[in-house]
Chains A and B, each alone.
Chain A
Amino acid sequence: MIVTAFVLGPILAGLALYGRPRRASNAARGAAAVVAALVFIVAWADPHAPDASLRWLSRPFTAAFHLGYGPVSYWLVLLLALVTFSAALVVRGPRSRGIAAQLLVLQGAMNGLFLAKDVLLFALFWDLMLLPVFLVLAERTRGRAAWKYLIYNLAGGLALLLATAAFGVVAGTTDAIGNTAAHAGIGATWGAWIFAGFALAFLIKTPVFPFHTWMPETYAELPPPMVAVVAAVQSKAGLYGFLVIGLPFLGPQMVQARPLMFALGLCALLYGAYVALVERDAKRIVAYSSLSHLGLILLAVFSGSALAYAGAVVYIIAHGLFSAVLFIALGAVEEREETRDLARLGGLAARNPRLAGALMLGALAALGLPGLAGFAGEILILTGLYRAGFTWPAVIALLPIVLAAAYMLRAFQSIMDGPERPDLPQRRDLTWLEGFAVAPLVAGFVWLGVDPAGVIATLTAEGARVVGLR
């Protein structure tokens, strides 16, 4: 029952927010933060909540509204609740109510995705989580970003739908995630097509080069709270899909696709790092750094190495935490200075020490400083790749990780360091509310950086055959 509440609770709360007056931005912000915090606390308190299942289809294949924790999904639900909480606290502006409401709907839909134990239900939430982001984009822009987001992701979603239908027909049931007995039936001929459908959807959503072109525009156009959730958590949906659907059911196809996926992952790593080095728009720098980092996780997912899988899970959480910090901090910069252009920004640290501190912490975690979570994930993945015999991919992957230091520090220096710019408006430093939003995320990646074994241990303890840890 609790797992059902994680899905329906936020969605209903989000819809209920629309009943509030449009101007009630404080109430909307508070309500959204409270709901997210409640989900976090309840989920944290009970990691062994029982599954909830309700029959959906009995023909032509069986399907159920089956929700429950898997080894990875527990952490993702926590991550999502934490990021939604922080994002809700920094919602502001005339559209606060709508954004807060859509944040909650998005949280519910993504909780559904991470908790789904049925592939068809997974597909349902996969498509459902498009809507809140599209509606926020639709209100905001001239339309280009909204359309790019929708068309790309819907194309992926439809490929996923077709693959799910074929999966159901071949396997006889879609109620199979985490159920190791159910996956013997997919043969080689169907398997290739089914894998292709799933892989397309997952690669677009992540995104991975060359399907990334929707991403920079979407991230740049979305309001900061929404982009924090989309970049930090929604981008993990595809990688999560590879872990819970790809590995158990389509293992041979994953191995066959390895050269291609390694090539795509390395391209994403290098290309993302290169663009992040030369880009002038601060939000786009973080967007492209995401492309680079997620490429590394893709390598890990396809490596076949248990160590790299563990690293992938750690890095998924780590990336979620620090990219949320970065986008929230950059959102604060943009709100104050009304620009994201590195050439126009500069010298903010003198008057905004707390803001500079938040951005610095995010940047340090992103560039892989030992002791913070990014490093823990990277070292596990690289070691895993190397020990699995993929020496050259590991070596090539090391280069963009070094470059991360260059582009992250370049962005930080251009915004914060240097002499104060007289042409920039003088605004107050990070408020206590914004600080309160950033603090739990920072605490999260410090804890994860110091003690990643905590996460890895639960993965092992909870029967992490899905993740390959025995």
Chain B
Amino acid sequence: MSSAFANFPSSADYVALLPMGIVACTPLVILFLDLFVPTSSGIRRGLAVGVAIVGLVIAGLVAAQSYPHDYAAFGGAFIEGGFSIVFSEIVIVATLATLLLSDGIGRTDQVAGTTALLLWSASGAMLMAGAGNLLTVFLGLELLSLGLYCLCAISARSTAREAALKYLILSSMASGFLIYGSALLFGATGSVAFADLARAAVTPLLALGAGLFLVGIAFKLSLVPFHAWTPDVYEGAPLPVTAFMSVVTKAGALAVFARFAYAALPHGQAGAILVPIWICAALSMLIGNLAALAQTDMKRLLAYSGIAQVGYIVAAFAGTSTFGLRYAVLYLAGYTFMNLGAFAVVELMSRDGDAVVSVARFAGLAYRRPWLAAAMTLFLVGLAGLPPTIGFTGKILILAATTGAGYAWLAGVLIVGTAISAYVYFKIVRAMFVRIDPAHVRDERSRNALPWIAVGVCAVLTFALGIVPLTPSNVLPLVK
């Protein structure tokens, strides 16, 4: 091929984008089909959710096919490989669970639109998972966030508007940090590609740029002290959207963080530049769990629990060891199932997905709905890091990676955080098993049976991953 055409994308480049492309194009099919369905028809809901599920499953299968690939598409802007595939699959699974959770978000006439927005957000996260330069990161991040701003505001409640506005402003600020940091990084090195950043000499400008970039990522990960938006937004958003955000936003941001930490920082300097992030992770584990102690609303409780859980995952990256990356991915997958399982249980306990579900509603659940209580116990036990779940196995692997990399203090903080979290999660477990007069509890049941599928699948995987901890072996190399 002549050099004049060397920069033109080849068909292989587009194939690399295929899974993300399928997820991004499915909404067009949904919106188009929706035009032909009568306004009041009950089929509308099923059609939108059904097409979305089919699209996601196809995308998941296509992505799985290319797991062994290792290909830098579009001149390194999008990197297809084990790393991006694993994160994409987590995003796809989480999106599927979200769809099952809700049977469509919002009123019947909104469902096609909300489902489309959800899928576009998911495709943004998938783009972040494969991002090989700073521009793709920003593109993916905005694609992820724009859909979520609308989804947060979809409910008629005033708290939803407040949550959406708060999310819009704070998230935009985070994006501002990120893009400013990217600009400085470009100024320092003359390139936006991660591969070039890694080869550059460390200058104050580069360090500042990397710092601002990481602040933006920390916002999206809701690491303490950049976490203040999370509980309010989670509380205001519809429950399925909250569940989606708690996994997908974090998966996307973690993918970017991991690639940046492992492959974009100049060799030998990464340790020094990343120290503040480990401190943020330590603070997240402590403050996230301490704040969760005081929560009475399940969504806020799970928001703070999520802040702490992300702290555990980031702790696995400490020392940027290969094992750390693998165990972080494993724990992220485990967190996905435990957390979405817990959200599915909460969904099954509310008649309207928007409603506030307080911890008090769980009182005596074991006697009213034993299967639901058993599943919830498994998820909470897993989130608390006890066997027989992935929470236990994942945590011991993170501890091994962190201590092995010489960050024993971080492992110590992780242990302290976990000890605090026991009270958070077991408060709910105890409530479920305490004997009370059933007349004192509002026992609402969801009209939707679909979340049971999510509960079952998540419960099986929470247990099975703990016994057979499959860690992806094909996660490196991260850049070309």
**Residues in A lying within 8 Å of B, measured CB to CB:** 18, 56-57, 59-61, 120, 123-125, 127-128, 130-131, 134-135, 138-139, 143, 146-147, 150-151, 154-155, 157-159, 161-162, 164-166, 168-169, 193
Asked whether, in the complex, the Cβ of A165 is within 8 Å of the Cβ of B403, the reply is yes
Specify the main secondary structure of chain A where it touches its partner: helix
Partner of B386, one of A60, A128, A159, A162: A128
A151 and B422 in contact, given A131-B381, A159-B415 (Cβ under 8 angstroms): yes
A residues less than 8 Å from B422 (CB atoms): 150-151, 154
Asked whether, in the complex, the Cβ of B415 is within 8 Å of the Cβ of A162, the reply is yes
Query: Could you list some 6 contacts between A and B, CB below 8 A?
Result: A128-B388, A146-B430, A147-B423, A158-B418, A158-B419, A168-B400
**Chain B positions 50-93 with a Cβ under 8 Å from a chain A Cβ:** none
Q: How far is the CA of A131 from the CA of B411 in the complex (A)?
A: 24
**Chain B positions 376-412 with a Cβ under 8 Å from a chain A Cβ:** 381, 385-388, 392-393, 395-397, 399-401, 403-404, 408, 411-412
B residues less than 8 Å from A150 (CB atoms): 422-423, 426
**Chain B positions 294-325 with a Cβ under 8 Å from a chain A Cβ:** 323
Asked whether, in the complex, the Cβ of A161 is within 8 Å of the Cβ of B415, the reply is yes
- B434 within 8 A of partner (CB): yes
Partner of B396, one of A123, A125, A193: A123
**Chain B positions 407-466 with a Cβ under 8 Å from a chain A Cβ:** 408, 411-412, 415, 418-419, 422-423, 426, 429-430, 433-435
Asked whether, in the complex, the Cβ of B430 is within 8 Å of the Cβ of A143, the reply is yes
Tell me, rounded to whole Å, the shortest Cβ–Cβ distance linking A249 to chain B. Answer: 17
Q: Which 3 A-B pairs have the closest CB atoms?
A: A165-B399, A138-B430, A165-B400
- B472 within 8 A of partner (CB): no
Q: How far is the CA of A159 from the CA of B415 in the complex (A)?
A: 7
Kindly report which residue of chain B lies nearest to residue A159, judged by CB atoms. Answer: B415
A residues less than 8 Å from B395 (CB atoms): 161
Q: How far is the CA of A186 from the CA of B101 in the complex (A)?
A: 49
A residues less than 8 Å from B419 (CB atoms): 151, 154-155, 158
A residues less than 8 Å from B388 (CB atoms): 124, 128
Asked whether, in the complex, the Cβ of A60 is within 8 Å of the Cβ of B433, the reply is no
**Residues in B lying within 8 Å of A, measured CB to CB:** 323, 370, 381, 385-388, 392-393, 395-397, 399-401, 403-404, 408, 411-412, 415, 418-419, 422-423, 426, 429-430, 433-435, 467, 469, 471
Q: Please report the number of residue pairs spanning A and B whose Cβ atoms sit closer than 8 angstroms.
A: 84
Kindly report which residue of chain B lies nearest to residue A109, judged by CB atoms. Answer: B387
Kindly report which residue of chain A lies nearest to residue B326, judged by CB atoms. Answer: A59
A169 and B429 in contact, given A127-B392, A161-B399, A162-B399 (Cβ under 8 angstroms): no
Most chain A beta carbons < 10 A, residue from B388, B396, B434: B396
A61 and B433 in contact, given A128-B386, A150-B426, A158-B419 (Cβ under 8 angstroms): no
Q: How far is the CA of A179 from the CA of B237 in the complex (A)?
A: 55
Asked whether, in the complex, the Cβ of A169 is within 8 Å of the Cβ of B400, the reply is yes
Q: How far is the CA of A139 from the CA of B367 in the complex (A)?
A: 11
Given contacts A131-B386, A135-B429, A158-B418, 7 further A-B contacts (CB under 8 A): A124-B388, A130-B386, A134-B426, A155-B419, A158-B419, A165-B403, A166-B408
Partner of A164, one of B396, B426, B429: B396
Q: How far is the CA of A317 from the CA of B119 in the complex (A)?
A: 62
Q: How far is the CA of A169 from the CA of B411 in the complex (A)?
A: 13
Asked whether, in the complex, the Cβ of B423 is within 8 Å of the Cβ of A151, the reply is yes
B residues less than 8 Å from A60 (CB atoms): 323, 397, 400-401, 404
Kindly report which residue of chain B lies nearest to residue A130, judged by CB atoms. Answer: B386
Q: How far is the CA of A59 from the CA of B404 in the complex (A)?
A: 12
A residues less than 8 Å from B404 (CB atoms): 60, 169
B residues less than 8 Å from A120 (CB atoms): 396
B residues less than 8 Å from A143 (CB atoms): 430
Asked whether, in the complex, the Cβ of B396 is within 8 Å of the Cβ of A161, the reply is yes
Kindly report which residue of chain A lies nearest to residue B435, judged by CB atoms. Answer: A139
A162 and B430 in contact, given A124-B388, A151-B422, A151-B423 (Cβ under 8 angstroms): no
Q: How far is the CA of A135 from the CA of B377 in the complex (A)?
A: 10
Asked whether, in the complex, the Cβ of A138 is within 8 Å of the Cβ of B433, the reply is yes
B residues less than 8 Å from A169 (CB atoms): 400, 403-404
Q: How far is the CA of A317 from the CA of B274 in the complex (A)?
A: 53
A residues less than 8 Å from B435 (CB atoms): 139
Q: How far is the CA of A50 from the CA of B480 in the complex (A)?
A: 51
A residues less than 8 Å from B370 (CB atoms): 18
Asked whether, in the complex, the Cβ of A127 is within 8 Å of the Cβ of B387, the reply is yes
Asked whether, in the complex, the Cβ of B386 is within 8 Å of the Cβ of A139, the reply is no
B residues less than 8 Å from A166 (CB atoms): 399, 403, 408
Q: How far is the CA of A290 from the CA of B467 in the complex (A)?
A: 36
Partner of A57, one of B392, B411, B469: B469
Q: How far is the CA of A130 from the CA of B430 in the complex (A)?
A: 13
A165 and B387 in contact, given A154-B422, A155-B419 (Cβ under 8 angstroms): no
Q: How far is the CA of A139 from the CA of B429 in the complex (A)?
A: 10
A124 and B400 in contact, given A57-B469, A154-B422, A155-B419 (Cβ under 8 angstroms): no
Asked whether, in the complex, the Cβ of A138 is within 8 Å of the Cβ of B415, the reply is no
B residues less than 8 Å from A127 (CB atoms): 386-387, 392
Q: How far is the CA of A138 from the CA of B408 in the complex (A)?
A: 34
Q: How far is the CA of A155 from the CA of B415 in the complex (A)?
A: 8
Q: How far is the CA of A18 from the CA of B401 in the complex (A)?
A: 39
Tell me, rounded to whole Å, the shortest Cβ–Cβ distance linking B147 to chain A. Answer: 38
Asked whether, in the complex, the Cβ of B412 is within 8 Å of the Cβ of A162, the reply is yes
Tell me, rounded to whole Å, the shortest Cβ–Cβ distance linking B412 to chain A. Answer: 7
Q: How far is the CA of A138 from the CA of B434 in the complex (A)?
A: 6
Tell me, rounded to whole Å, the shortest Cβ–Cβ distance linking A90 to chain B. Answer: 21
Kindly report which residue of chain A lies nearest to residue B418, judged by CB atoms. Answer: A158
A residues less than 8 Å from B412 (CB atoms): 162
Asked whether, in the complex, the Cβ of B386 is within 8 Å of the Cβ of A138, the reply is no
B residues less than 8 Å from A155 (CB atoms): 419
A residues less than 8 Å from B401 (CB atoms): 60
Q: How far is the CA of A60 from the CA of B330 in the complex (A)?
A: 14
Tell me, rounded to whole Å, the shortest Cβ–Cβ distance linking B426 to chain A. Answer: 6
Asked whether, in the complex, the Cβ of B415 is within 8 Å of the Cβ of A139, the reply is no
Q: How far is the CA of A59 from the CA of B324 in the complex (A)?
A: 11
B residues less than 8 Å from A147 (CB atoms): 423
Tell me, rounded to whole Å, the shortest Cβ–Cβ distance linking B375 to chain A. Answer: 13
Asked whether, in the complex, the Cβ of A57 is within 8 Å of the Cβ of B397, the reply is yes
B residues less than 8 Å from A161 (CB atoms): 385, 395-396, 399, 415
Q: How far is the CA of A18 from the CA of B374 in the complex (A)?
A: 11
Kindly report which residue of chain A lies nearest to residue B324, judged by CB atoms. Answer: A60
A residues less than 8 Å from B400 (CB atoms): 60-61, 165, 168-169
Q: How far is the CA of A161 from the CA of B400 in the complex (A)?
A: 10
